[in-house]
Amino acid sequence: MTYPVLDAQISPEGRLDVLSKTEVNQLLDSSQSGLYTLFRHCVLAVLNTGNALDDSKELLSRYPTFNIAIVQRERGIKLDLKNAPASAFVDGVMIKGIQEHVFAVLRDIIFLNSEIATNPQFDLSSSQGITDAVFHILRNANQLHTLVNPNLVVCWGGHSISGSEYDYTKHVGYQLGLRGLNIGTGCGPGAMKGPMKGATIGHAKQRIFNGRYLGITEPGIIAAEAPNPIVNELVILPDIEKRLEAFVRLGHAIVVFPGGAGTAEEILYLLGVLLHPDNVNLPFPLIFTGPASAREYFQQIDQFIGATLGEAAQKRYQIIIDDPELVARQVLEGVADVRAFRKAISDAYYFNWSLKIAPEFQQPFFPTHAAMRQLQLHKNQDSYLLAANLRRAFSGIVAGNVKASGIAAIEEHGHFELTGDAELMTAMDALLSSFVQQQRMKLPGKLYVPCYRVIK
């Protein structure tokens, strides 16, 4: 099957008007740690916005001749696109939101390479160094809004959800928007798009014209969760760990909708962070919610958390079923507590410096077959450390499902193998099996082939 393509030249709007010759050469020289390949893959994913596809390998195979070059001119730069997906254009002109996303990719890829990865100022082997890097990436992307009261609600959930669940996310987003709250998500479809869509209506009714619809992603996942068309602020972090840290440092509350392995990873990350002794008294509103049909799903999540992390973890969230207004009211109350707490300790509203994030949640995890087999999945450790290892297990499953590197590893070496305490592994196997049965591991209509095997 062939897919229609177009050629185009596009220019940036805003402050990314010029690049140095060194930056251009680094980006377009394939010998520079594969930077051009990374840039090309991310731009292609952005150009695929709105299309139902969650497989990066398949996306690349659809557009094998897509090419992108930087044209350096005295008056600024242009991007020269060859054989780009035609769906990104209207009457031959690129959709403005997609054009903005393309240059957000350029901005972040350049900054990550020239100012973070190769800069000795950032010690990426230390916890503080990683947090500083996340701070600078967000600041460079103009995401640290000073003199603004806390109002950013992060919404997590699956890209493969039912129609009723998607509608529910819109209702919740609408109620949040009516209360002047902004939305941040993983920027993809499904539960990442619905809250933004609902909030746009709520903001419009309240005559809020500067609504913030923030999408936070990373190169390994962007093809599977291309930015949805509502995202008006896009940031690319270098890996999943820094992406998750960006969510919890920026967000003032988190709402979790139904999802699959990726959503479980996000839940385990946040609960593990909150279970650290230094965060016991730190307010962080966390709500699990969905329509009546999602009641069993959240019961399974709650049971899994109770069986693995215990009652202390269960106390860090509340479950609200089929009540968007109550969700929004509880979020608003929680955000008020966050504001009061940060004001009392003189912490910034725009970046949660006081939140302790242990190194186990910051160091990148590379889900090789050996690394997955060696995960410490047993209860003979602090609960926050167990959460960190469970998070890595789910991260590996996400990689095996949708990331190009993970898919290739599964094709070459077979299933990831997970081992651990019998009781814990039984709980994990039951949860993952329920995700498969409920078709939460792939987009609807696509056959899911498990990339893992649980060994009890």
State whether 85 and 22 are in the same domain.
yes
Would the pLDDT of 33 be above 80?
no
Would the pLDDT of 245 be above 70?
yes
For the chain, what is the domain count?
2
Which pLDDT value is given to residue 76? 65
Query: Which residue in the block uniquely carries the two structure tokens 């650290």?
Result: 276
User: 126: part of which helix (H) or strand (E)?
Assistant: none
Q: How far apart are CA 45 and CA 36, in angstroms?
A: 14
**Percentage of residues of the chain with pLDDT beyond 70:** 91
Would the pLDDT of 16 be above 60?
no
Q: Which position has the higher pLDDT, 189 or 444?
A: 189
Q: How far apart are CA 85 and CA 83, in angstroms?
A: 7
Q: Which position has the higher pLDDT, 431 or 223?
A: 431
Grade residue 442 by pLDDT with cuts at 50, 70 and 90: low
State whether 79 and 212 are in the same domain.
no
State whether 69 and 166 are in the same domain.
no
pLDDT in tens, 38-61: 888 889 989 988 766 666 677 778
Identify the CATH number of the domain in which residue 429 sits.
Answer: 3.40.50.450
State whether 319 and 448 are in the same domain.
yes
Mean pLDDT estimate for the chain: 89
Strands (E), 379-430: 416-419
State whether 63 and 156 are in the same domain.
no
Contact 281, 340 (CB under 8 A): no
pLDDT in tens, 172-215: 999 999 999 999 999 888 999 999 999 999 999 999 999 999 99
Grade residue 78 by pLDDT with cuts at 50, 70 and 90: confident
Contact 159, 189 (CB under 8 A): yes
Q: What does DSSP assign to residue 162? A: -
Grade residue 404 by pLDDT with cuts at 50, 70 and 90: confident
Domain termination residue (choose one: 99, 119, 139): 119
**Parent domain of 370:** 123-456
Q: How far apart are CA 84 and CA 44, in angstroms?
A: 7
The arithmetic mean of pLDDT across residues 353-380, rounded, is 94
Identify the CATH number of the domain in which residue 76 sits.
Answer: 3.30.1850.10
- Candidate from 13-22, 114-123, 394-403 with smallest mean pLDDT: 13-22
Q: How far apart are CA 365 and CA 220, in angstroms?
A: 13
- Candidate from 192-196, 205-209, 276-280, 448-452 with smallest mean pLDDT: 448-452
Would the pLDDT of 31 be above 50?
no
Domain termination residue (choose one: 119, 150, 178): 119
Would the pLDDT of 18 be above 60?
no
The arithmetic mean of pLDDT across residues 360-387, rounded, is 93
The pTM of this model reads 0.90
Would the pLDDT of 403 be above 50?
yes
Domain termination residue (choose one: 88, 119, 150): 119
Rounded to 10°, the helix 163-178/324-345 angle is: 50
State whether 114 and 136 are in the same domain.
no
- The strand pairing partners of 254, in sequence order, are 154, 286
Grade residue 2 by pLDDT with cuts at 50, 70 and 90: confident
Question: Which SS3 state, helix, strand or coil, does residue 73 take?
Answer: strand
State whether 142 and 38 are in the same domain.
no
State whether 131 and 99 are in the same domain.
no
**CA angle (213, 210, 77) in 5-degree steps:** 75
Count of C-beta atoms within a 10 Å radius of residue 118: 11
Contact 270, 391 (CB under 8 A): no
State whether 92 and 184 are in the same domain.
no
Question: Which SS3 state, helix, strand or coil, does residue 161 take?
Answer: coil
State whether 100 and 140 are in the same domain.
no
Count of C-beta atoms within a 10 Å radius of residue 83: 16
Q: What does DSSP assign to residue 217? A: E
